[in-house]
A and B are shown apart, each in its own frame.
Chain A
Amino acid sequence: MKAKGIVHKYGDNVDTDVIIPARYLNTADHKELASHCMEDIDIDFVKKVKTGDIMVAHENFGCGSSREHAPIAIKASGISCVIAATFARIFYRNAINIGLPIIECREASEKIEAGDEVEIDFESGVITNVTKGESYQGQAFPEFLINIINKGGLLNSLK
């Protein structure tokens, strides 16, 4: 399984309130959530994002609330993978549980710039920066989690 797309780049501590502001949490509709994704820090994100694109950020991505609406909004906006140096833990498990691929890689988070074209191989954890001709080794998922992802998310894995 691979993802390939253009990068949208953000900084440290991107919190769930900017990923999807609480004022929009009165709905669980995926499309509606996606239409407000990132709007408090990047008002143009929704207009720019194309299916398959990749989000890259620095430390502690997804900190703050446990709202699953955050990874849902990102996934529904078309993003195929989020790369960060570190993720906040609830966001990390929510992303896995709903099937949004995420990968931790400090080097990638430092070197990749907005607009780069990037390819990710989930099995090996290798991230290739097509634009810059570089590659970085990300953290591959432990087997326990690959099992959840392969079965299509937590709920299917429990059946």
Chain B
Amino acid sequence: MGMTMTQKILAAHAGLDEVKAGQLIMADLDFVLGNDITSPVAINEFNKAGFTEVFDKEKVTMVMDHFAPNKDIKAATQCKQCRDFCGAQSITHFYDVGRMGIEHALLPEQGLVGPGDCIIGADSHTCTYGALGAFSTGVGSTDMCAGMAKGKAWFKVPSAIKFNIVGKLPKYSAAKDVILHIIGMIGVDGALYRSMEFMGEGLKNLTMEDRLCMANMAIEAGAKNGIFAVDEVTLAYVKDRFKREVRVFEADADAEYDEEYTIDLSKIKPTVAFPHLPENAKTFDEIGEVKIDQSVIGSCTNGRIEDLRAAAEVLKGKKIADSVRCIVIPATQDIYMQAMEEGLLKIFIEAGCAVSTPTCGPCLGGYMGILAKGERSVATTNRNFVGRMGHPESEVYLASPYVAAASAITGKLSQPSEVM
């Protein structure tokens, strides 16, 4: 019996010729990630366990993005603990304010992760790097600690669901709509413990940024990882960034999948996930008038340059509604700079948006756009759980940058065609 793409990567990293779904393995890691929230817990464990050195100072990173620039004294203390640890360990890739970006936008951009890698990160959206053809999954701080110390992690080999992508997205439909559609279809536990493998002739019509957005939200369907077949788009993206060896793994022709779906991109319409689960996906024919107080354009899901271009296309020469606060957060410094050079920031500011330095900020209800009781935000982020962006009685509606921008203009959930 053949292996899936994920299984092949895991077998190679466990030094085995073959693995089967359900098998427990110990795998070698190519990269280990933590942030300002999860790393302090891992560092405490590292010290408590008596470890003295990380396994490879080039292969561990800490990114200060969640509550940074420090939102309060406790956040400052956590960042300081990371900074001190990375300094003492001479960790090469420590990303502090001014250099940092949101981790899942930053690592692919900086070429720290690439095809064929086996990666863990103490952050659930670590599954993002599957876009590059890597096995990449979110873990907790204890796993991060073990990974930092030994360069290893245990895994239960997952079975997989195959998504055969065909066609091309219509104008104003986005990768975000595709993944919200898929989560709406299979549910927030539809891929529990399993891989989501994306392949097919339609992949060539998805840019790397589209893929990063989709792989990012695999966890919202409960998946262990999301992974895209490697093609010319992948190889072109990693060519001048990724320093390690590119390893291309392909699923065997006779690989076994639990389920298979065909996703026709040409049928995808602008989609919004209603509170309080990402699976509550609706298209605009099912959406009545939903007034919003805030629009957030950013995050590791949709804070990349193409996302900002999409939002700017809608906002150009227009003003956002008086009743709305629109917050735009470029995901990394490079994206920020690029957006500035392309004149996108000017478009946002002239439209009445606030533009922030890279941070997770409001995405996890940290700061920079917290909602009051009863308020609603449309957001290009990935979670709309109870209290995710502030008060437990506030609401988050997940959508694409096009929809978030259009809604900011009208003050209610709107698709781009309403304002263009």
Chain A residues with CB under 8 Å of chain B are 13, 15, 17-18, 21-23, 25-28, 40-41, 59-60, 63-69, 71-72, 86, 88-90, 93-94, 97-98, 142, 144-145, 148, 153-156, 158-159
Judge whether A25 and B37 touch: CB under 8 Å. yes
The answer, among A15, A60, A153, A158, for a CB contact under 8 Å with B192, is A60
User: Is there a chain A Cβ closer than 8 Å to B173's Cβ?
Assistant: no
Chain B residues with CB under 8 Å of chain A are 24, 37-38, 40-41, 44-45, 48-50, 66-67, 71-72, 74-75, 78, 121-124, 126, 138-143, 145-146, 149-150, 152, 154, 188-189, 192-193, 219, 222, 224, 277, 364-366, 383, 385-388, 392
Judge whether A23 and B138 touch: CB under 8 Å. no
Judge whether A27 and B74 touch: CB under 8 Å. yes
A86 to chain B, nearest CB (A): 6
Residue of A nearest to B138 (CB): A66
Judge whether B192 and A97 touch: CB under 8 Å. no
Evaluate whether A89 and B192 lie within 8 angstroms (CB atoms) in the complex, with A18-B386, A27-B74 already known. yes
- Shortest 3 CB-CB distances between A and B: which pairs? A94-B140, A26-B74, A68-B140
Judge whether B385 and A15 touch: CB under 8 Å. yes
A-B contacts counted at CB < 8 A amount to: 132
Judge whether B143 and A22 touch: CB under 8 Å. no
B270 to chain A, nearest CB (A): 25
The answer, among B74, B126, B366, B383, for a CB contact under 8 Å with A64, is B383
A62 to chain B, nearest CB (A): 10
The answer, among B41, B188, B387, for a CB contact under 8 Å with A21, is B387
| A72-B193 Cα distance, complex, nearest whole Å | 22
Supplied contacts A60-B222, A86-B192, 11 more A-B pairs, CB within 8 Å: A13-B188, A40-B392, A65-B123, A65-B383, A68-B41, A88-B222, A90-B138, A90-B219, A148-B154, A154-B143, A155-B45
Evaluate whether A94 and B142 lie within 8 angstroms (CB atoms) in the complex, with A21-B365, A26-B74, A60-B188 already known. yes
Residue of A nearest to B45 (CB): A155
Judge whether B142 and A153 touch: CB under 8 Å. yes
- Set of chain A residues within 8 Å of B138, measured between Cβ atoms: 66, 90
Judge whether B124 and A90 touch: CB under 8 Å. yes
Judge whether B122 and A13 touch: CB under 8 Å. no
Judge whether A93 and B143 touch: CB under 8 Å. yes
| A25-B367 Cα distance, complex, nearest whole Å | 12
A159 to chain B, nearest CB (A): 7
Judge whether A90 and B140 touch: CB under 8 Å. yes
Residue of B nearest to A17 (CB): B385
- Set of chain A residues within 8 Å of B71, measured between Cβ atoms: 26
Judge whether B192 and A66 touch: CB under 8 Å. no
Residue of A nearest to B70 (CB): A26
| A144-B157 Cα distance, complex, nearest whole Å | 13
B76 to chain A, nearest CB (A): 9
The answer, among A17, A26, A145, A155, for a CB contact under 8 Å with B386, is A17
Judge whether B188 and A63 touch: CB under 8 Å. yes
| A72-B383 Cα distance, complex, nearest whole Å | 22
The answer, among B66, B140, B146, B189, for a CB contact under 8 Å with A66, is B140
B394 to chain A, nearest CB (A): 11
| A142-B50 Cα distance, complex, nearest whole Å | 28
The answer, among A13, A26, A59, A68, for a CB contact under 8 Å with B38, is A68
Residue of A nearest to B76 (CB): A26
Evaluate whether A40 and B44 lie within 8 angstroms (CB atoms) in the complex, with A68-B140, A88-B192 already known. no
Evaluate whether A17 and B387 lie within 8 angstroms (CB atoms) in the complex, with A63-B222, A90-B138 already known. yes
- Set of chain B residues within 8 Å of A41, measured between Cβ atoms: 386
- Set of chain A residues within 8 Å of B193, measured between Cβ atoms: 89
Residue of A nearest to B39 (CB): A28
Q: Could you give 16 example pairs across A and B, Cβ below 8 Å?
A: A13-B188, A17-B388, A22-B365, A23-B366, A28-B44, A40-B386, A65-B364, A65-B383, A68-B122, A86-B192, A88-B189, A94-B139, A94-B143, A144-B154, A155-B48, A158-B150
